[in-house]
Structures are given as structure tokens and as C-alpha cells.
């Protein structure tokens, strides 16, 4: 599990260490870690051509100290000072002592022949997009041949939210200090951070602002069947999805539920015939949810329409004391009647994409974590906001940012698969917010496995769900086993 910490949280933890260590010691730790990663990425020091883009704060200080280390190891280092009067004095002195060049004219920075460009313009103290001179220096670096490495945070990216309000440094690697900041893994910022390397500063960090599951975290939440288990004890999920004319969503959603937990899946709806043909393992009725038999969680909505009948099914399911996942058409209905989700005794999970999200009247700016959190609080539900990095927020503020997936998942039917996966996890009794986060992780991993063979279609995900986390954790058993 990776904890994500905001700039304020990192500063508070840094203050404790700063108070009990000699001046500059923390920056030395940061710069040494940064130089070490740079040397690993470049594969050599002697003759390495390095350009430093140096801003006015401590982020520039890190770059200068790391540049001094690289210069002492034989690299040819040029530092471009974007705010010469305010460049970190001790870092600048160290760089000069190490024999590096210091310039103030952007065209003397050497970006056109650099092997490595270090972005030390702004870190967690940056506000807004890059100012014009910095933006021009970044454009030169991007046009040049060098590997683009951001110091702590790509300049121009909001460390807390991932918002990119203007120009920013498009890093191939980001070397971040003390803790991973949310802006490196969510929203637009994720696309600017590249590969994130964490340098440990020995900070004592409290509870993170958000979390990201790894494969072992998800595997640990998928209990293997015990000797005393039967199909009923392992979680029974009900699916209401699809229609007689369009059974696809029902087939995908039911298949995903089957492939996630091989307990029992019940289907109720007008796509019964299609579901029965595709999945003989499911128990199928063409009636309403009440006719389906006992379940421990419901998935409602994918491809199910928005007519009066669909609305009455949604109301029926939300009136139960069971966890309910609301997706797709059911989100459209719920956005028009949000009171249906109020005062439920059991968890409700909403899985909107951006358009479905804004239908509820919730605003969606550059801060996707903040938006999902306030929506979850507003309605007292868990919100899984789909995206490049899916965000999951619970009604109590618990937040996850997903770290798996591939752009190939942006194709028809993958949302129906996600609903089936999360619904099945809800039926196992997993906490609703964790079920949503674990489901997003599994879905993304399955997508990565499926995309390894080229472009994927949603059905491909079903084949890969059983091994999605077990391949990397080495744990056998738990998932899958039934179905085609
Ligand atoms: N506190 C510490 O001892 C440590 C801090 N560290 C580094 O210090 C950084 C934070 O340093 P600071 O608080 O000095 O802040 P930054 O260096 O991140 O940025 C603040 C400076 O950048 C300027 N600035 C803000 N927005 C700008 C923009 N859009 N375009 C151009 N310039 C802009 C400000 O005027 C200010 O001078 C961290 O990100 C990290 O790199 C690390 O060395 C670890 C230890
Ligand atoms: K930076």
C-alpha cells in the first residue's frame, strides 16, 4: 500500500526532522537520493552532460546540490538560474565549488545537447502554471535530446491535486522526496510525472491523505475458499443489467462477477436469455430483483434503460438493506432522484464517469480527489470516479487512487465489467470503499494483461480476471475457476 501525502503533510513532517538535524542535512539527503537515481538512469557520470533548471526556492536548492554531486563525479553540469538573485545560496556555492557552469541566459543552458535535464523550478511550493521564462526553458528542454527528470514534483503541476493550470514540465521520471504526493498519480499531473521514484527522508508521516493499493493488498482482500465454504457462504451477488434487445451489458457484468468470486451470481432482468446462454453457472430469472432469490449485494444499471420500470427496479433495490452498486443508466436515474440513496442502512457505491458525475450537479475541476470526496460526503455513498487514475472516496473521507490500467480500457463494455467485479467483492462482505478500490485495481490489472496481446475488447478482461493479481503475488487459488 502506498500512502499519498499532501504538501502540508510533508512540510509538517519535515519540520520535525529539520528541528533535530543540522542545517541543510535534509536537503543533503534529498539531493543525494536525487543524484543516485540520476546516475542509475544515465548509467554513467563521467562526461554526462547535465542541464539544471533552477528556480527560486528549495526545489532549486535540491537541483543545485545534486548537480554538485554529479559534477564532482565527472559530469559536465550547466545550471540555468531562472531567478538569479534568489537561487539557493548554499546550493549555488556548492555547485560552483564543484566546477559547474552557471548561466542566466536561457539560450546558454545547453538543453539542445544535454543527456539529462533536471527540473528544479518549483516543487511543493509552486503555484499556478510556469511563468513565461521558465516555460520557454522547459520548451527548449523538451525539444532537446535529454532525459527529462523532475525534482520532487514536475514544475507547473499542483502537488496536492494533479491540476495543471498552464505550462508544466513533462517529466519522464520524477524523483520525489519523503512521500508520494497525490498530484503525481492522479488527474493531469499523472501524465506529467512519468515514472515516480521515492527517496526516503526518514520522515515520520501520520495517516495519509489517500492510499493506493498494490497487488498484495488486493490479494489479501480476496480470501481463498475454506474447507467449510459453500457457494452461498462465499458471497452471492445479484445483477440487474442489460435488456432483451441489448443483452451485452448483462452478459459482461454477470461474467465479470462470476470470474471475480466463484460463489454464486444471480441475474434478474429482461436479458435473461442471453445471460443463460453465455453463463450456465449463473442462476437466471427474467423477473424483477425480488424474484431472484437471496443475494448479499446488488449491481444495478448497466444497459438497463431509464424508463419507469428501470426506475422502479432501482428504487426496489435501494430500499433493501443490502450493499448496492449503481452504474450507468441507474446513475442517470439516481441523479434525477438522489433521495433514493439517502438514509440507506447499507453501503451504496456509485461508479460514474465524468459526464455521469456532473449530472448530479457535482463540479469536476482539476481536483478529482477533492471532487470525489465532496460527492461521497454529499450523498453519504462511496464514489468511484472513473478516469485515467480512478479515484474512490468513501462517505467517511477514506480515499484511494488507482494505480493499474491501460488507455486500451477506454472501450465499450469495460465499465460493465468493472461493475460486476466490484459487485462481487461487495457480496463477499468487504468494506464498500475497499471493494470499489480493489475492484478498480483488479480491473486495471486485467486490462494490462489483456492489452499485452494488443488492443483489447471488454470480453478479454474476463479471461484475465482470475489471474489479475495472483500472477504478481504468486498466490494461487482464490479467484476464478467457473465460467467459460
Ligand atoms: N523543507 C526542506 O528542508 C526540504 C525541502 N525540499 C525541497 O523544497 C521544495 C519546497 O521548497 P520551497 O518551499 O522553497 O518551494 P519551491 O522551491 O517548490 O517553490 C517556491 C519558489 O518558486 C516560486 N514560484 C512559485 N510558483 C512559481 C511558478 N509558477 N513559476 C515560477 N516560480 C514559481 C516562488 O516564488 C518561490 O520562490 C520541495 O519540493 C523539495 O524539493 C527538499 O530539499 C527536502 C527538504
Ligand atoms: K520540480
337-340, Cβ contacts within 8 angstroms, sequence gap of 24 or more: 337/311, 338/379, 340/314, 340/315
- Phi and psi dihedrals of 343, rounded to 5? 55, 25
Q: State mean pLDDT over 128-141.
A: 97
DSSP one-letter code for 180: B
Whether 125 lines ligand 1, by a CB cut-off of 6 Å, is: yes
Expressed in angstroms and rounded, the spacing between residue 140 Cα and the centre of ligand 1 is 22
pLDDT tens, 430-477? Answer: 999 999 999 999 999 999 999 998 899 999 999 999 999 887 666 654
DSSP one-letter code for 224: P
* The three three-digit cell numbers of residue 473, written as one number: 503475488
Closest by Cα among 113, 77, 74, 119 to 95:
77
pLDDT computed for residue 475 by the predictor: 61
**Residue 483 scores a pLDDT above 60:** no
**Residue 300 scores a pLDDT above 90:** yes
CA separation, residue 270 to residues 126, 244, 304, 330, 460 (Å): 55, 5, 9, 15, 24
C-alpha of 364 from chain center: 16
Q: Which helix (H) or strand (E) holds 70?
A: helix 58-72
Residues 31, 60: contact at Cβ < 8 Å? no
pLDDT tens, 322-363? Answer: 999 999 999 999 999 999 999 899 999 999 999 999 999 999
Query: Which protein residue's CA is at the shortest distance from atom 21 of ligand 1?
Result: 57
Q: Any binding-site annotation on 235?
A: no
Expressed in angstroms and rounded, the spacing between residue 260 Cα and the centre of ligand 2 is 41
Strand partners of residue 264: 236
Nearest-ligand number for the alpha carbon of 117: 2
**Residue 31 scores a pLDDT above 80:** yes
CB 304: neighbour CB atoms within 10 A? 29
Count how many residues are written for the chain: 484
Spatial separation of the C-alpha atoms in residues 86 and 106, rounded to whole Å: 17
Whether 14 lines ligand 1, by a CB cut-off of 6 Å, is: yes
Q: State mean pLDDT over 4-24.
A: 97
pLDDT computed for residue 474 by the predictor: 65
Listing from the earlier edge strand, what are the strands of the sheet with 76-81?
Answer: 101-103, 76-81, 49-54, 116-120, 147-151, 173-177, 195-199
Expressed in angstroms and rounded, the spacing between residue 119 Cα and the centre of ligand 2 is 5
pLDDT tens, 222-236? Answer: 877 788 888 877 899
**Residue 481 scores a pLDDT above 50:** no
**Residue 479 scores a pLDDT above 80:** no
Whether 18 lines ligand 1, by a CB cut-off of 6 Å, is: yes
Spatial separation of the C-alpha atoms in residues 1 and 161, rounded to whole Å: 19
In a 13 Å sphere around the CA of 369, the CA atoms on its Cβ side amount to: 30
Q: State mean pLDDT over 384-389.
A: 96
pLDDT computed for residue 263 by the predictor: 86
Percent of the chain with pLDDT over 90: 92
pLDDT tens, 34-80? Answer: 999 999 999 999 999 999 999 999 999 999 999 999 999 999 999 99
Walk me through the domains of the chain, giving residue ranges and CATH numbers. 2-211 (3.40.50.10260), 215-473 (3.40.1190.20)
Those residues whose C-beta lies under 8 Å from the C-beta of residue 381, and which sit 6 or more positions away, are: 341, 347, 348, 349, 350, 395
Q: Model-level pTM?
A: 0.95
CA separation, residue 421 to residues 235, 239, 339 (Å): 12, 11, 26
Q: Any binding-site annotation on 402?
A: no
Query: Which protein residue's CA is at the shortest distance from atom 27 of ligand 1?
Result: 126
Q: Which helix (H) or strand (E) holds 316?
A: helix 308-318
Percent of the chain with pLDDT over 70: 97
Whether 119 lines ligand 1, by a CB cut-off of 6 Å, is: no
Spatial separation of the C-alpha atoms in residues 123 and 69, rounded to whole Å: 20
Spatial separation of the C-alpha atoms in residues 246 and 359, rounded to whole Å: 24
Q: State mean pLDDT over 241-252.
A: 96
pLDDT computed for residue 226 by the predictor: 81
pLDDT computed for residue 340 by the predictor: 97
Q: State mean pLDDT over 132-144.
A: 98
390-399, Cβ contacts within 8 angstroms, sequence gap of 24 or more: 390/440, 390/444, 391/186, 391/210, 392/433, 392/436, 392/437, 392/440, 393/369, 393/433, 394/432, 394/433, 396/433, 397/373, 398/433, 399/209, 399/210, 399/211, 399/369, 399/372, 399/373
Average pLDDT score over the chain: 95
Identify the band that residue 401 occupies on the pLDDT scale cut at 50, 70 and 90. Answer: very high
pLDDT computed for residue 477 by the predictor: 43
Query: Which protein residue's CA is at the shortest distance from atom 35 of ligand 1?
Result: 56
Of 111-125, 194-208, 462-476, the range with the lowest mean pLDDT is: 462-476
Strand partners of residue 54: 81, 120
Spatial separation of the C-alpha atoms in residues 87 and 208, rounded to whole Å: 32
* Residue whose cell numbers read 535540491: 62
Q: Any binding-site annotation on 144?
A: no
Closest ligand 1 atom to the C-alpha of 86? 37
Expressed in angstroms and rounded, the spacing between residue 78 Cα and the centre of ligand 2 is 17
pLDDT computed for residue 472 by the predictor: 66
Residues 171, 188: contact at Cβ < 8 Å? no
**Residue 480 scores a pLDDT above 50:** no
Asked if the interface predicted TM-score (ipTM) of this complex is over 0.85, the answer is yes
Residues 365, 400: contact at Cβ < 8 Å? no
pLDDT computed for residue 234 by the predictor: 82
Residues whose CB is under 5 A from ligand 2 (ion)?
A: 119, 150-151, 155
Helix, strand, or coil (residue 402): coil
Query: Which protein residue's CA is at the shortest distance from atom 11 of ligand 1?
Result: 58
Amino acid at each position: 500500500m502506498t500512502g499519498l501525502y499532501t504538501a502540508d503533510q510533508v512540510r509538517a513532517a519535515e519540520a520535525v526532522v529539520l528541528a533535530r538535524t543540522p542545517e541543510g542535512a535534509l536537503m543533503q539527503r534529498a539531493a543525494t537520493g536525487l543524484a543516485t537515481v540520476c546516475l542509475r538512469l544515465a548509467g554513467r557520470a563521467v562526461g554526462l552532460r547535465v542541464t539544471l533548471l533552477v528556480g527560486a526556492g528549495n526545489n532549486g536548492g535540491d537541483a543545485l546540490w545534486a548537480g554538485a554531486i554529479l559534477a564532482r563525479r565527472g559530469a559536465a553540469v550547466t545550471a540555468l538560474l531562472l531567478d538569479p538573485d534568489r537561487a539557493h545560496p548554499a546550493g549555488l556555492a556548492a555547485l560552483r565549488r564543484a566546477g559547474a557552469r552557471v548561466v542566466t541566459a536561457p539560450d546558454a543552458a545547453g538543453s539542445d545537447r544535454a543527456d539529462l535535464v533536471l527540473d528544479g523550478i518549483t516543487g511543493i511550493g509552486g503555484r499556478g502554471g510556469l511563468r513565461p521564462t521558465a516555460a520557454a526553458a522547459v520548451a527548449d528542454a523538451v525539444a532537446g535530446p535529454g532525459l527529462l527528470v523532475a525534482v520532487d514534483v514536475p514544475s507547473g503541476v499542483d502537488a496536492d491535486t494533479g491540476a495543471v493550470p498552464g505550462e508544466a514540465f513533462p517529466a519522464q521520471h520524477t524523483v520525489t522526496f519523503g512521500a508520494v504526493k497525490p498530484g503525481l498519480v492522479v488527474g493531469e499531473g499523472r501524465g506529467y510525472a512519468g515514472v515516480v521514484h521515492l527517496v526516503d527522508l526518514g520522515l515520520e508521516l501520520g495517516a495519509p491523505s489517500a492510499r493506493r493499493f498494490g497487488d498484495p493488498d488486493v490479494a489479501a482482500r480476496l480470501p481463498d475458499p475454506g474447507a467449510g465454504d459453500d457457494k452461498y457462504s462465499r458471497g452471492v451477488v445479484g445483477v440487474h443489467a442489460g435488456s432483451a434487445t441489448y443483452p451485452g451489458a448483462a452478459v459482461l457484468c454477470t461474467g465479470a462477477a462470476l470470474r471475480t468470486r466463484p460463489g454464486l451470481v444471480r441475474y434478474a432482468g429482461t436479458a435473461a436469455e442471453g445471460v443463460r446462454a453465455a453463463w450456465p453457472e449463473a442462476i437466471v430469472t427474467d423477473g424483477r430483483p425480488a424474484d431472484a432469490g437471496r443475494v448479499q449485494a446488488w449491481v444495478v444499471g448497466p444497459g438497463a434503460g431509464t424508463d419507469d420500470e428501470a426506475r422502479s427496479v432501482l428504487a426496489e433495490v435501494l430500499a433493501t438493506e443490502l450493499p448496492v452498486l449503481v452504474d450507468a443508466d441507474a446513475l442517470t436515474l439516481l441523479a434525477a432522484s438522489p433521495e433514493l440513496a439517502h438514509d440507506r442502512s447499507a453501503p451504496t457505491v456509485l461508479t460514474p464517469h465524468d459526464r455521469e458525475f456532473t449530472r448530479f450537479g457535482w463540479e469536476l475541476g482539476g481536483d478529482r480527489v477533492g471532487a470525489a470526496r465532496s460527492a461521497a460526503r454529499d450523498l453519504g455513498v462511496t464514489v468511484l470516479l472513473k478516469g485515467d487514475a480512478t479515484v474512490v472516496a468513501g462517505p467517511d473521507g477514506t480515499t484511494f487512487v488507482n494505480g493499474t490500467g491501460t488507455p486500451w480500457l477506454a472501450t465499450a463494455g469495460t465499465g460493465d465489467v468493472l461493475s460486476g467485479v466490484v459487485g462481487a467483492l461487495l457480496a463477499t462482505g468487504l468494506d464498500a470503499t475497499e471493494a470499489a478500490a480493489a475492484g478498480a485495481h483488479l480491473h486495471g490489472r486485467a486490462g494490462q494483461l489483456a492489452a499485452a496481446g494488443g488492443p483489447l475488447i471488454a470480453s478479454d478482461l474476463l479471461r484475465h480476471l482470475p489471474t489479475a493479481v495472483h500472477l504478481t503475488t504468486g498466490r494461487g487459488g482464490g479467484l476464478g475457476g467457473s465460467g467459460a
